[in-house]
């Protein structure tokens, strides 16, 4: 009896209640599909969405969990993981909303798609809280393998096949590299798999480990950078984004990326705490390259999805700025930006899906003159793109301001300046699309828009799409002005997480400028 109580306390299984709910939803979707068949496809998505909302509710209950460690410290359900899991679950909700019609039109089974999507969500959520090398790798692979499956989901489309193959090959290689780095870490720490234990072992390790540790660091970062598609590990992004079904791209650009950032934070701040200066250096390089390359190459794109791919690379560069700042404000600005990015990027993808469902094209030039035919779609896409470009009063502006604010506070003047300049470049390509839709005269309308079908929201799966568009439109335009609750949420998730108290002290010690400009607000 005693033993079982002890075991239950150590397992602390309640910490993964949200994930449990995702699993239940996943099973329910599979079983219902098996029993009821295709007839269920009209209401099955709502089962999944209800399950995910239950997951979010469970996450809300997990907030400020006094006892976050579960399964022998291999899973950490602290506030940081809660907020990242929330972002991932919400991104799946919106992705399912937008995929109903898309999958219907592509003639494939919706239930299977949702099952894979939920599996990916599960992996991503576990990854956000994973505190143990084995746990990290297992959840990373769960996420990755279901992502490969999803990218190739429209199997009759050769571009989708190509995307899946590319993603699989590069992804498998990067997983292998990551695994190699992790195995080095395991050896260097004398056989520990828990991140905190590794940090403790490494801290007292001798100096001849330096080379091994450096390789472990570089290889781990390579694996993480692949997930968040930071330059130079971004090569897969444009091709995969262009070829994959658009809802999958939406999930990859938000949910999967958020999981990558959660992994990066947890791993780098605990296991690699002793090499903070080094990983800051590497991430600075990644951020600079991502911001420059992402924004500059996006200028030249003619396909909407490729443009959004490069834009997401650039956005990852901005988010990294908060990580490099290494202060609580920096991490909070990261979380805040990801929260906002969730709405604006998914909003943009929802609009792209709606447009391609009605016209069958993703070319930017085909958007010409859309304002005359579909004002709502034009408005929503314009607002989301302008928000991504950081134009006030949209949410993205405030997200960027906070990132730059935190960066400046931490003394990253050069990076902030670069971020500002590249975000002006980004305005150019975002506004190009807006210009295409709004400014073009009726006689300059593209053929696709000229043959634009009459707007009908009563087709199967169109209503959820409309809900998704209106929801992201409202949040993107209001979340900035009324961003106080979101900011508080982001700040609390950081201040109430133990991870950062240790990390923050280390960062202040190592980064001289931070100590110099340290101010009462950040402390």
Partner 1 sequence: MFTTQVPWLTTLILLPLVAAFAVPLIPDKDGKTLRWYGLGVGLVELALTVYLAATQFDRTAVGFQLSETYAWLPQLGVNWSVAVDGISLPLLVLTAFVNTLALMAAWRVSHKPRLFYGLMLALYGAQMGVFVAKDLLLFFTMWELELVPVYLLISIWGGPKRLYAATKFILYTALASLFILVAGLGLAFSGDRITFDLAELGLKEYPAALELFAYVGFLIAFAVKLPMFPVHTWLPDAHGEASAPVSMVLAGILLKMGGYGLIRMNMELLPNAHIHFAPVLVVLGVVNIVYGAFAAFGQTNLKRRLAYSSVSHMGFVLIGLASFTEVGLNGAMLQMLSHGLIAAALFFLAGAAYDRTHTLMMDEMSGLAQQMPKIFALFTVAAMASLALPGMSGFVSELTVFLGMANSDAYSLSFKTVIVFLSAVGLILTPIYLLSMLREVFYGEAKAETTPDHWFSDANPREVFIAVCFLLPIIGIGLYPKLAMTSYDTKTVHIAQKVGAALPIFATVEPQEMTAERDLFPLTPALIAPPLD
Q: Under DSSP, is residue 74 helix (H, G, I), strand (E, B) or coil?
A: coil
Q: Is 365 in the site for partner 1 (CB under 8 A)?
A: no
Alpha-carbon distances of 187 from 134, 224, 274, rounded to whole Å: 14, 20, 16
DSSP conformation class of 255: I
Give me the residue label for tokens 């991504």. Answer: 388
Q: Site for partner 1 (CB under 8 A): which residue of 40, 165, 200, 487?
A: 487
Give the residue from 424, 307, 431 showing the smallest Cα distance to 363: 307
CB closer to partner 1 out of 363 and 492: 492
Q: Which of residues 229-248 bind partner 1 (CB under 8 A)?
A: none
Give the residue from 315, 381, 305 showing the smallest Cα distance to 347: 381
CB closer to partner 1 out of 19 and 328: 328
Alpha-carbon distances of 378 from 19, 351, 392, rounded to whole Å: 37, 8, 18
Q: Which of residues 75-114 bind partner 1 (CB under 8 A)?
A: none
Give the residue from 130, 150, 149 showing the smallest Cα distance to 140: 130
Output the six-digit token pair for 56. Answer: 């979010």
CB closer to partner 1 out of 53 and 405: 405
Q: Is 431 in the site for partner 1 (CB under 8 A)?
A: yes
Give me the residue label for tokens 């450096």. Answer: 214
Q: Is 485 in the site for partner 1 (CB under 8 A)?
A: no
DSSP conformation class of 194: B
d(CA 461, CA 97): 8
Q: Which of residues 438-467 bind partner 1 (CB under 8 A)?
A: 438-439
Give the shortest CB-481-to-partner 1 separation in angstroms.
9
Site string for partner 1, 289-308 (x = CB under 8 A): --------------------
d(CA 198, CA 186): 8
Tell me which H or E stretch contains 236.
Answer: helix 236-243
Q: Is 523 in the site for partner 1 (CB under 8 A)?
A: no
Q: Site for partner 1 (CB under 8 A): which residue of 13, 420, 505, 515?
A: 420
Size of the site for partner 1 (CB under 8 A): 37
Output the six-digit token pair for 414. Answer: 């050069």
Q: Is 356 in the site for partner 1 (CB under 8 A)?
A: no
d(CA 223, CA 342): 22
CB closer to partner 1 out of 142 and 426: 426
CB closer to partner 1 out of 45 and 390: 390
Q: Is 519 in the site for partner 1 (CB under 8 A)?
A: yes
d(CA 202, CA 70): 23
CB closer to partner 1 out of 115 and 434: 434
What's the chain's length in residues? 523
DSSP conformation class of 69: E
Give the shortest CB-129-to-partner 1 separation in angstroms.
25
Q: Which of residues 378-417 bind partner 1 (CB under 8 A)?
A: 386, 391-393, 397-398, 401-402, 404-405, 408-409, 416-417
Q: Is 424 in the site for partner 1 (CB under 8 A)?
A: yes
Q: Which of residues 182-201 bind partner 1 (CB under 8 A)?
A: none
CB closer to partner 1 out of 14 and 392: 392
CB closer to partner 1 out of 409 and 472: 409
Contact 314, 295 (CB under 8 A): yes
CB closer to partner 1 out of 40 and 487: 487
Output the six-digit token pair for 424. Answer: 């002006």
d(CA 181, CA 309): 28
Residues of this chain that interact with partner 1 (CB under 8 A) are 329, 332, 371, 375, 386, 391-393, 397-398, 401-402, 404-405, 408-409, 416-417, 420-421, 424, 427-428, 431, 434-435, 438-439, 483-484, 487-488, 491, 517, 519-521
């Amino acid at each position: 009896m005693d033993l079982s109580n002890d075991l239950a306390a150590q397992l602390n299984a309640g910490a993964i209640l949200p994930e449990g709910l995702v699993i239940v939803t996943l099973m329910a979707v599979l079983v219902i599909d098996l029993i009821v068949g295709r007839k269920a496809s009209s209401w099955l998505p709502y089962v999944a969405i209800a399950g995910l909302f239950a997951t979010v509710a469970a996450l809300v209950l997990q907030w400020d969990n006094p006892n976050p460690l579960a399964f022998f410290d291999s899973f950490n359900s602290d506030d940081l993981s809660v907020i990242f899991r929330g972002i991932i679950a919400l991104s799946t909700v919106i992705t399912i909303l937008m995929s109903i019609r898309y999958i219907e039109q592509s003639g494939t089974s919706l239930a299977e798609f949702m099952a894979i999507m939920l599996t990916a969500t599960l992996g991503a959520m576990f990854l956000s809280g994973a505190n143990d090398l084995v746990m990290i790798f297992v959840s990373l692979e769960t996420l990755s393998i279901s992502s490969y499956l999803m990218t190739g989901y429209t199997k009759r489309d050769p571009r989708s096949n190509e995307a899946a193959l590319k993603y699989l090959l590069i992804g498998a290689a990067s997983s292998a590299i990551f695994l190699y780095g992790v195995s080095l870490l395991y050896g260097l720490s004398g056989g520990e798999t828990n991140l905190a234990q590794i940090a403790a072992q490494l801290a007292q390790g001798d100096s001849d480990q330096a080379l091994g540790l450096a390789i472990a660091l570089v290889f781990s970062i390579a694996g993480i950078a692949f997930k968040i598609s930071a330059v130079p590990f971004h090569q897969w992004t444009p091709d995969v984004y262009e070829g994959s079904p658009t809802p999958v791209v939406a999930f990859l650009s938000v949910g999967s990326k958020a999981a990558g950032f959660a992994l990066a934070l947890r791993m780098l701040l605990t296991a690699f705490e002793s090499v903070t200066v080094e990983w800051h250096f590497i991430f600075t390089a990644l951020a600079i390259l991502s911001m420059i390359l992402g924004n500059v190459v996006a200028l030249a794109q003619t396909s909407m999805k490729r443009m959004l791919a490069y834009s997401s690379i650039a956005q990852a560069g901005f988010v990294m700025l908060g990580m490099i700042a290494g202060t609580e404000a920096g991490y909070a600005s990261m979380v805040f930006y990801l929260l906002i990015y969730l709405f604006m990027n998914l909003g943009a993808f929802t609009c792209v899906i709606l447009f391609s469902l009605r016209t069958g094209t993703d070319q930017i030039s085909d958007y010409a003159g859309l304002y005359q035919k579909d004002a709502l779609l034009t408005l929503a896409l314009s607002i989301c793109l302008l928000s991504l470009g950081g134009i006030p009063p949209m949410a993205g502006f405030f997200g960027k301001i906070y990132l730059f604010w935190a960066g400046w506070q931490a003394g990253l003047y050069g990076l902030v300046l670069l971020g500002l300049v590249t975000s002006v470049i980004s305005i150019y390509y975002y506004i190009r699309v807006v210009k295409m839709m709004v400014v073009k005269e009726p006689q300059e309308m593209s053929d696709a828009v000229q043959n634009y079908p009459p707007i009908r929201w009563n087709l199967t799966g169109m209503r959820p799409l409309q809900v998704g568009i209106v929801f992201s439109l409202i949040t993107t335009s209001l979340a900035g002005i009324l961003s106080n609750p979101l900011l508080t949420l982001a700040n609390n998730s950081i201040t109430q997480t133990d991870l950062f108290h240790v990390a923050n002290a280390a960062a202040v010690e190592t980064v001289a400028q931070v100590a110099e400009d340290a101010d009462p607000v950040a402390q």
